[in-house]
Amino acid sequence: MEHYHYDEVKELEDLYSKKLAQEGNAYLKLEQQGLELKQAYEKRIAEIKATNERAIRKLIEEFK
């Protein structure tokens, strides 16, 4: 009887370990996607700032 319970506990531990590994992989994938989006947004923000600075300099020159 004890051996049967031990086998069940071992099986549950194995399933739990597999589930944790899957969840960990999913989390890492989401974290990578988040970092990629952050980099893309930061790049786009830098581009917009550069465009705005050029437009401001152009307007300043026009009105001198």
Question: What stretch of H or E contains 17?
Answer: helix 2-62
Number of domains observed in the structure of the chain: 1
Please indicate, yes or no, if residue 18 is contained in any of the structural domains.
Answer: no
Q: In angstroms, rounded to a whole number, what is the distance separating the alpha carbons of residues 54 and 48?
A: 10
Distance CA 8, CA 3 (A): 9
Domain presence at residue 11 = no
Report the pLDDT value the prediction gives residue 5, as an integer from 0 to 100: 87
Residue 43's domain comprises 39-64
Q: What is the pLDDT of residues 5-36, one digit of tens each?
A: 888 989 999 899 999 999 999 999 999 999 99
pLDDT score of 1 more than 80: no
Q: Would residue 56 count as lying in a domain? A: yes
Q: Is residue 1 part of a domain?
A: no
How does residue 3 score in pLDDT terms, banded at 50, 70 and 90? Answer: confident
3 state DSSP class of 1: coil
pTM of the entire predicted model = 0.64
Please report whether residue 64 resides in a domain.
Answer: yes
DSSP 64: -
Q: Tell me the residue type at 10.
A: K
